[in-house]
Amino acid sequence: MSAYFGSAVELGIQFRNRTRRVVDVVSQLWAHHDRVEPSVKSYISTLKDASLEKATALDVQFDQGNDLPLLAGIPMAIKDNIHVLGTPTTCASQILKGFMPPFNATVSDRLLGQQAIVTGKTNLDEFAMGSSTENSSFHTSLNPWDTSRVPGGSSGGSAAAVASGQVVLSLGSDTGGSIRQPAAFCGVVGFKPTYGRVSRYGLVAFASSLDQIGPFTRTVEDAALVMESISGGDLHDATSSFMPVPAYYSQLKPRISGLKIGVPRELFGSEIDPGVKAKVVEALDLLKANGATWEEIDMTSLKAAVSTYYIIAPAEASANLSRFDGVRYGYRDQDADNLRDMFRKSRGTGFGPEVKRRIIIGTHVLSSGYYDAYYTKAQKLRSLIVADFAAAFQKYDVIMTPTTPSTAFSVSGYRDNPLAMYLADIATIPVNMAGLPAISVPCGLDNGLPVGLQIIGPAFSEQLILDVAAGYQGVFNFPTLMQSPMMRGN
């Protein structure tokens, strides 16, 4: 029997009516993993034995007719900057070599409480800094649609694992687009929640005012199901919101008719590849044919969103990463003869080039004489970006954009030009700056590579975004139309 490439929702139904056994599904996925993983390299570490043991135990419970949660038995992978007790957290960095987390992240606790089966920890750019996984200190993950190309980043391993059919869903983190961009590149659904909707406890911090955890799935229903499970307040994260969590999955109502859509000109001009733009226009016109309206709007502050982000995020990163000093955990240079030397040598060896580059930029913009010129101004621009979105949502229900300016780029395509790679985050970064929720859904292929449509809503409008995405999925059946070659047996 071939591996299961459907949705978590359908799989849960089949587990309940016993037309599929959990252990069979997990075994088949591991057999598929053995075939495709050498070409994709989505994982840093795997939990094969533990996942099979858990699958066997869950089958006993299903056989007994026990009432199990909807995610029970669903195989899922977790980005390796999110703690799972008993499994190393590396952040794809040499500086965390050998580190074992002493607790579960809250999202891990919640998903394990739902009896989901964790299959392993997925690859990422070191400390989530990058857009391709090329900054991982272990290996570069590759795109299941074309293995000469990157899967995106930083959560590229999580996206590639789902798109290659190795797991049904996965978790990533999104600081400037790190869920939505790889979702777009790999042709899967990627959801970035409102800042505070999902606890960050147990997520290794990159930029604390921007980071959020969210799911990669094949369908919108699965994204709703995961969001329902992981959202909600957490006393371990003072920035998490205790606003009630809607039943995103059971209340999901596909919605298109009457929808007013704004499309910012700043994210729809010459910076977007014509092939990508054409697919997004097709998607917008399909929504229009089904009763929505769309028009281009001006949001001028978005022109400076990338600059704003690359001041604020490195500034916060330089502070957050100061904890990696070789004293309490991780790599230590053993040859240093004094404390300062130990800090310098441990960090010098443990961090890769991109992390060093961002620490330097962050330290510079926070340093005396530059703080007001860069950091304070960037914080003011964040206020303008927030205000621009608030004004747009007075008139439009949702904002839509291409998720990325291009389809997946070639490995090493931006090797010597970090600024060019930063600029490729143009459409995803404004969402993080404004703390908003957004989803990327597949909207077609350009030269055989997936294109993503980004749907952005007001703060805490997760249900609206999921409803609109479900509406789009209803008229453009991407889960069936857009299976990667690795799920079609090619």
- Give the span between the Cα atoms of 327 and 91, in whole angstroms: 18
Which residue has tokens 């908003």?
A: 436
Strand duo 398-402 + 293-297: pairing: unpaired
Nearer to another protein, 61 or 307 (CB): 307
- Give the span between the Cα atoms of 243 and 233, in whole angstroms: 7
| 209 CB burial (10 A radius; 0-12, 13-18, 19+) | middle
Query: Which of 178, 231, 301, 318 is labelled catalytic?
Result: 178
> Minimum CB separation from another protein for residue 396, in Å?
19
Nearer to another protein, 153 or 330 (CB): 330
Nearer to another protein, 48 or 329 (CB): 329
Q: Residue 260: in which H helix or E strand, if any?
A: strand 260-264
Output Rg (C-alpha) for the chain, integer angstroms.
Answer: 21
Residue 180, number of CB atoms within 10 A of its CB: 35
Q: Give CB contacts under 8 A, 24+ apart, made by 319-327.
A: 319/362, 319/366, 320/205, 320/206, 320/207, 320/208, 321/127, 321/351, 321/355, 321/359, 324/95, 324/96, 324/350, 324/351, 326/350
> Minimum CB separation from another protein for residue 332, in Å?
4
Q: How far apart are the first and last CA of the chain?
A: 17
> Minimum CB separation from another protein for residue 238, in Å?
5
> Minimum CB separation from another protein for residue 448, in Å?
32
Q: Is 178 a catalytic residue?
A: yes
Strand duo 260-264 + 398-402: pairing: parallel
Nearer to another protein, 409 or 422 (CB): 422
Q: CB under 8 Å to 157, separation ≥6 — which residues?
A: 41, 42, 43, 44, 77, 79, 80, 122, 123, 124, 133, 141, 151
Nearer to another protein, 300 or 477 (CB): 300
> Minimum CB separation from another protein for residue 343, in Å?
4
Query: Which of 41, 54, 79, 121 is labelled catalytic?
Result: 79
Could you tell me the sign of the dihedral formed by the alpha carbons of 221, 226, 229, 235, in that order? negative
> Minimum CB separation from another protein for residue 360, in Å?
5
Query: Which of 154, 301, 318, 440 is labelled catalytic?
Result: 154
Contact of 317 with 357, CB cutoff 8 Å: no
Alpha-helical (H) ranges within 290-417 are 305-320, 339-350, 353-366, 377-395
Nearer to another protein, 109 or 221 (CB): 109
Q: Is 79 a catalytic residue?
A: yes
Q: Is 345 a catalytic residue?
A: no
> Minimum CB separation from another protein for residue 459, in Å?
6
Contact of 226 with 189, CB cutoff 8 Å: no
Query: Catalytic site residues?
Result: 79, 154, 178
